Structure 1
Amino acid sequence: MAINDLLKQVLDFRDARDWHQFHTLRNLIVSTSIEAGELLETIQWKTDSEIEALLLDPTQRNNLKHECADVFIYLLLVAHTAGFDLLDAASEKLKLNAERYPVDKARGTAAKYSEL
């Protein structure tokens, strides 16, 4: 499915419920953060091996999938409300990160670009 088709589905869903009135940029950004917290909660207090096992459990994997979808949907709404294309923004950010983190300096290190 193309991202524009998904955005149309999200907007149709929202508009059918008259939720546009609540979808200010501020509220959408707050909601994105809340949903990201719920995504984080799926792995809270788990070791890396427990997280790997989570992926093998269909119920837990489905929960992870739905939490990711919630974050993604809110990000689509934030971008739409702010008037930019999320795919273009991601592509632009990747180019910026490529400049900030050149392979010869960043390979194998988790250091921030200002420390390279």
Structure 2
Amino acid sequence: MDPSIRKDVSLKELQDRLAEFARARGWDQFHSPRNLLLALVGEVGELSEIFQWRGEVARGLPNWSSSDKEHLGEELSDVLLYLVRLADICDLDLAQAALMKIGKNAEKYPVGNSSPSFSTN
């Protein structure tokens, strides 16, 4: 296993590694918010294609091959990396923004008002 890969990685570490990756390759000039957003949307499209014709999929993907799961992991990673890079270029702390959003969602959707099932009406 690659020694640079660890089990727990922070968004800050991903942000720093992506920034260095882009800097080393001279890509900063291309990493405008618009360009990163368009790349992110493209990657979400590729992620969507994986699920497009499969119908509903069970949790844990028990019927998927290891290569299908690996492909899914790659596409999810592409989405995450573009999202982290976009937040960095926009000078936003993505982890803090996510925590704040969870707090807002908790207020908007209190536990007592949640329904465990969907209505078909």
Structure 1 residues 19-40: Cα deviation after superposition (integer angstroms, max 9, x where no partner): 1111100111111111111111
| More relative contact order, 1 or 2 (CA 8 Å, 6+ apart) | 2
Give the one of 86, 93, 96 matched to 1:85.
93
Instruction: Note the aligned Cα RMSD (angstroms).
Output: 1.9
CA distance in 2, matches of 1:65, 1:59: 10
Name the TM-score, length of structure 1 as normaliser. Answer: 0.84
Identity %: 33
> Which of the two has greater helix per residue?
1
Once the two structures are TM-superposed, the CA of residue 16 in structure 1 deviates from its matched residue by 1.3
Alpha-carbon distance between aligned partners in 1 of 2:108 and 2:25, rounded to the nearest angstrom: 43
Partner-residue secondary structure (3-state), 2:51:
coil
Does the Cα contact within 8 Å between 2:22 and 2:28 map onto a contact in 1? yes
After superposition, where does 1:13-92 map in structure 2 within 5 Å? 13-49=21-57, 52=61, 53-54=63-64, 57-92=65-100
Which residue in 2 is equivalent to 1:99?
Answer: 107
Gaps of 5+ in 2: 1-8
Alignment coverage as a number of residue pairs: 109
